[in-house]
Amino acid sequence: MPANHRYRAKIAFLLMACTVLASCSSLSNMSSSSINPVNWVTPYKIDVIQGNFVSKEQVEQLRAGMTREEVKATMGTPLMASLFHADRWDYVFTLKRQGVEPQSYKYTVFFKGDRLERFEGDAMPSETEFIAKLGNKRKLGNVPVLEATEEQLTKAAEKSKSPSATTAAPASQPTGSPSASYPPLESPKQ
């Protein structure tokens, strides 16, 4: 390759590299803009739920003097029960979701011997409040009505009574019993 061609190839490569680097810097400036196609597609991140969810209703059932077994039946198995802190159970719950600030709840119960002495922690949401927080923001169209009207029920009853829907049972079987012809469980030995 002549020296003139090598010089032109170097210049072309240098110009191409500068163009690519300049376009990268312009993309980083556009990243805050909704016009940028890079923002249109985001990777899916799964919801990460860790720990024991303790509801407001469960906390309201706690009473001083309860045994460890009663507390375990009410609150569930603690996430952390340390050998160094045998009289303390910690219930920790975290929820990380895409596009939502991570949520963390902690509740601690203290025992004296085998009896519940005191309990403290974050203000826990009720079960309905927690489920409402989990609601999916995506709406996939109209949700169909899940209740049948009287008219739909009578039509369904008429269809089930029509002669084409019923089949005659063999004379050897009583009416209403399931069919007795089943495939063999084992293949015949030869």
Nearest to 75 by CA among 51, 89, 54, 60: 54
Residue 165 confidence class, pLDDT cut points 50, 70, 90: very low
d(CA 9, CA 3): 10
Q: What is the CA angle 109-47-105, rounded to 5? A: 20
pLDDT in tens, 69-102: 999 999 988 877 777 888 899 999 888 887 778 8
165 in a structural domain:
no
Chain-centre distance for alpha carbon 72: 25
119 in a structural domain:
yes
**CATH code (residue 85):** 3.30.1450
148 in a structural domain:
no
Are 57 and 92 members of one domain?
yes
**Residues 65 and 116 sit within 8 Å (Cβ to Cβ):** yes
**Residues 97 and 145 sit within 8 Å (Cβ to Cβ):** no
Are 59 and 81 members of one domain?
yes
108, 133, 158 — which closes off a domain?
A: 133
Measured from the Cβ of residue 52, the count of other Cβ atoms closer than 10 Å reads 17
d(CA 91, CA 109): 8
Are 86 and 120 members of one domain?
yes
Are 13 and 64 members of one domain?
no
pLDDT score of 157: 86
List the domain range (segments joined by +) for residue 122: 48-133
pLDDT score of 115: 93
The residue type at 52:
N
Q: Structure tokens of 77? A: 């198995």
Sign of torsion, CA 138 100 47 91? negative
Residue 180 confidence class, pLDDT cut points 50, 70, 90: low
pTM metric for this prediction? 0.49
Q: Structure tokens of 144? A: 């169909």
Q: What is the CA angle 24-30-32, rounded to 5? A: 130
Nearest to 53 by CA among 102, 1, 115, 105: 105
177 in a structural domain:
no
Structural domain count, the chain: 2
